[in-house]
């Protein structure tokens, strides 16, 4: 007699039940499924560099393994890495950090996670400007706090201190800022960033500044880190940094936080009971990344710029598209509302048409909090960009009114 298998029912606690799976990972999975079925997919979904990790960084990791650096490290990272981070900020930006403010993490994502869960809980509001990186609201939700969104469409997705001031309520505990922004590519100017920090300091609101795309800024926009702010403004600030994008090291899972020592001690507690420490080998690689020549970063930036300079005018010429030029990161974020009609009513519909009719993967803007836009990653070769734009144009011509 056939055995009936009872379905396993599982109910997580309310904070986890409220979380949504990552929409960017869903796009990646759709691309993967088609590729493994032998389809010629153009994949603009990936949020990671198409470059390989530079050789000297890999070599430092290999050397660390040979030298037996394969054991646990202090939770906040090796002394060498902390010193490398402090030295990098001093050399590159003239910012003076204390090693006690610096903590190595398993990617920028863990730095943001540590910062939010040590600060926010039930009853707190976390301000998140739209469009946002998909993970921000989910971490706030996990912490038991309520994400509250700031609509920045009227200012072309350029966050202003005025918008922040208007959104703050007595319950606001934290704001998460991401400049350069994934997905919009917008960069907040140093002057506006300082104004935002002043508003937050005055109203007792903490700030997480996600600086994962720090180095990928196209002149005339300026590379800027909040680490250069005066001590009184940094008292409420946690910077989340990452090696993932800057050095094409997404798989190494290595990043860091810079925050006041008291906040860092709390984050240290959380990390010590979750991942203990980021991989010792990745830490050695990160030391090499921050202490050797930054030529590899300049080369990658030049290539992203070349692609951007070709891609944006090409997208601007697509019927139904409106595509502002990104100032940083490696994403185009066009509006596709000009393609709306009977068959395309949302950007998700348009992304779906691209996938089914042109085997082209993009990420729907709704996952970043703004329907009507799609994210196109140009962390891919010029050949694929050209092929993808040809396909996008074909689909847009069909639906644009
Ligand atoms: N912040 C932003 C805006 C990102 O786009 C990403 C990765 O896509 C991260 C943080 C996390 O990077 P990682 O955890 O790989 O350092």
Q: What is the CB < 6 Å shell around ligand 1?
A: 47, 107-109, 133, 178, 182, 210, 212, 242, 244, 250, 255
Report how far ligand 1's centroid is from the alpha carbon of 250 (Å). Answer: 9
pLDDT at 200: 98
Q: Are 153 and 32 in a shared domain?
A: no
Within a domain: 229: yes
Residue 121: give its domain's CATH number: 3.40.640.10
Tell me the best of 245, 253, 367 to mutate to test the pocket of ligand 1, counting ligand atoms within 8 Å of each CB and taking the most.
245
State how far the Cα of 24 lies from the Cα of 133, in Å rounded to an integer. 9
Q: Are 188 and 125 in a shared domain?
A: yes
Q: Are 116 and 231 in a shared domain?
A: yes
Tell me the best of 131, 133, 176, 208 to mutate to test the pocket of ligand 1, counting ligand atoms within 8 Å of each CB and taking the most.
133
Residue 3 binned pLDDT confidence (cut-offs 50, 70, 90)? low
Instruction: Tell me the C-alpha to C-alpha distance, in Å, between residue 156 and each of 39, 207, 322, 325.
Output: 37, 22, 12, 11
Q: Are 281 and 301 in a shared domain?
A: no
Q: Are 239 and 316 in a shared domain?
A: no
Strand 146-151 to 172-178 pairing? unpaired
Instruction: Tell me the C-alpha to C-alpha distance, in Å, between residue 376 and each of 299, 305, 360, 401.
Output: 21, 15, 10, 22
Within a domain: 3: no
Report how far ligand 1's centroid is from the alpha carbon of 108 (Å). Answer: 6
Residue 193 binned pLDDT confidence (cut-offs 50, 70, 90)? very high
- For residue range 329-353, list pLDDT tens digits in order: 999 999 999 999 999 999 999 999 9
Q: Which is the closest atom of ligand 1 to the Cα of 110? A: 14
Within a domain: 14: no
Place of tokens 């080998």: 281
Give the domain-ending residue among 231, 259, 291: 291
Give the domain-ending residue among 252, 273, 291: 291
- Tell me, what DSSP letter sits at residue 251? G
Q: Which is the closest atom of ligand 1 to the Cα of 254? A: 16
Tokens of 265: 């001690």
State how far the Cα of 385 lies from the Cα of 23, in Å rounded to an integer. 22
Within a domain: 11: no
Total domain count, the chain: 2
State how far the Cα of 47 lies from the Cα of 367, in Å rounded to an integer. 14
CA atoms in the 13 A half-sphere facing the CB of 171: 11
Within a domain: 12: no
State how far the Cα of 277 lies from the Cα of 275, in Å rounded to an integer. 6
Give me the domain span that covers residue 40: 19-48+296-396
Within a domain: 6: no
Q: Are 144 and 265 in a shared domain?
A: yes
Within a domain: 172: yes
Place of tokens 């039940």: 17
Element (H, E) at 329: none
What rounded mean pLDDT belongs to the chain?
Answer: 95
pLDDT at 364: 94
Burial class (CB in 10 A: 0-12, 13-18, 19+), 37: exposed
pLDDT at 148: 98
Q: Are 345 and 214 in a shared domain?
A: no
Of all residues in the chain, the percent with pLDDT exceeding 90 is 91
Q: Are 230 and 313 in a shared domain?
A: no
Mean pLDDT of 110-133: 98
Higher pLDDT, 263 or 3: 263
Residue 362: give its domain's CATH number: 3.90.1150.10
Q: Residue 54: helix, strand or coil by DSSP?
A: coil
- For residue range 281-318, list pLDDT tens digits in order: 999 999 999 999 999 999 999 999 999 999 999 999 99
Q: Residue 335: helix, strand or coil by DSSP?
A: strand
Element (H, E) at 72: none
Q: Which is the closest atom of ligand 1 to the Cα of 24? A: 8
What Rg value do the Cα atoms of the chain yield, rounded? 22
CB atoms within 10 A of CB 109: 19
Q: Are 342 and 241 in a shared domain?
A: no
Give the domain-ending residue among 253, 268, 291: 291
Q: Are 72 and 36 in a shared domain?
A: no
- For residue range 250-277, list pLDDT tens digits in order: 999 999 999 999 999 999 999 999 999 9
End-to-end Cα separation, the chain, in angstroms: 61
Within a domain: 231: yes
Mean pLDDT of 37-60: 94
Report how far ligand 1's centroid is from the alpha carbon of 371 (Å). Answer: 22
Report how far ligand 1's centroid is from the alpha carbon of 327 (Å). Answer: 18
* Cβ–Cβ < 8 Å for 111, 256: yes
Q: Are 167 and 264 in a shared domain?
A: yes
* Cβ–Cβ < 8 Å for 159, 196: yes
pTM of the shown model: 0.95
Q: Are 233 and 306 in a shared domain?
A: no
């Amino acid at each position: 007699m056939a055995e009936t298998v009872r379905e396993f029912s599982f109910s997580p606690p309310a904070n986890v039940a409220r979380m949504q799976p990552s929409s960017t990972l869903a796009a990646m999975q759709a691309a993967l499924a088609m590729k493994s079925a032998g389809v010629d997919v153009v994949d603009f979904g990936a949020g990671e560099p198409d470059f390989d990790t530079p050789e000297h960084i890999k070599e430092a990791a290999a050397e660390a393994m040979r030298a037996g650096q394969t054991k646990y490290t202090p939770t906040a990272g090796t002394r060498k890495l902390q010193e490398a981070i402090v030295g990098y900020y001093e050399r590159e930006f003239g910012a003076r950090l204390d090693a006690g403010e610096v903590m190595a993490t398993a990617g920028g994502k863990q730095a943001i996670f540590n910062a939010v869960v040590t600060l926010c809980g039930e009853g707190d509001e976390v301000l998140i400007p739209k469009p946002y990186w998909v993970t921000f609201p989910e971490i706030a939700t996990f912490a038991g706090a309520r994400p509250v969104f700031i609509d920045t469409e009227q200012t072309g997705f350029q966050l202003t201190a005025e918008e922040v001031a208007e959104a703050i309520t007595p319950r606001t505990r934290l704001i998460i800022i991401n400049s350069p922004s994934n997905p919009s590519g917008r960069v907040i100017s140093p002057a506006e960033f300082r104004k935002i920090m002043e508003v937050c300091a005055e109203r007792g609101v903490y700030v997480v500044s996600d600086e994962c795309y720090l180095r990928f800024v196209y002149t005339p926009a300026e590379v800027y880190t909040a680490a250069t702010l005066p001590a009184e403004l940094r008292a409420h600030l946690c910077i989340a940094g990452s090696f993932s994008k800057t050095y094409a090291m997404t798989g190494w899972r290595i990043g860091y936080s810079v925050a006041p020592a008291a906040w860092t001690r709390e984050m240290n507690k959380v990390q010590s009971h979750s991942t203990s420490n980021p991989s010792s080998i990745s830490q050695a690689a990160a030391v090499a990344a921050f202490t050797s020549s930054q030529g590899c970063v300049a080369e990658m930036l030049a290539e992203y710029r070349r692609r951007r300079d070709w891609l944006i005018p090409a997208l601007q010429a697509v019927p139904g598209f409106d595509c502002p030029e990104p100032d940083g990161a490696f994403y185009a974020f066009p509006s596709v509302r000009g393609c709306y009609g009977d068959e395309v009513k949302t950007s998700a519909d348009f992304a779906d048409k691209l996938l089914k009719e042109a085997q082209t993967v993009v990420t729907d803007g709704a996952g970043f909090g703004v329907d009507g836009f799609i994210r196109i990653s140009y962390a891919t070769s010029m050949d694929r960009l050209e092929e993808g734009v040809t396909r996008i144009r074909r689909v847009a011509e069909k639906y644009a009114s």
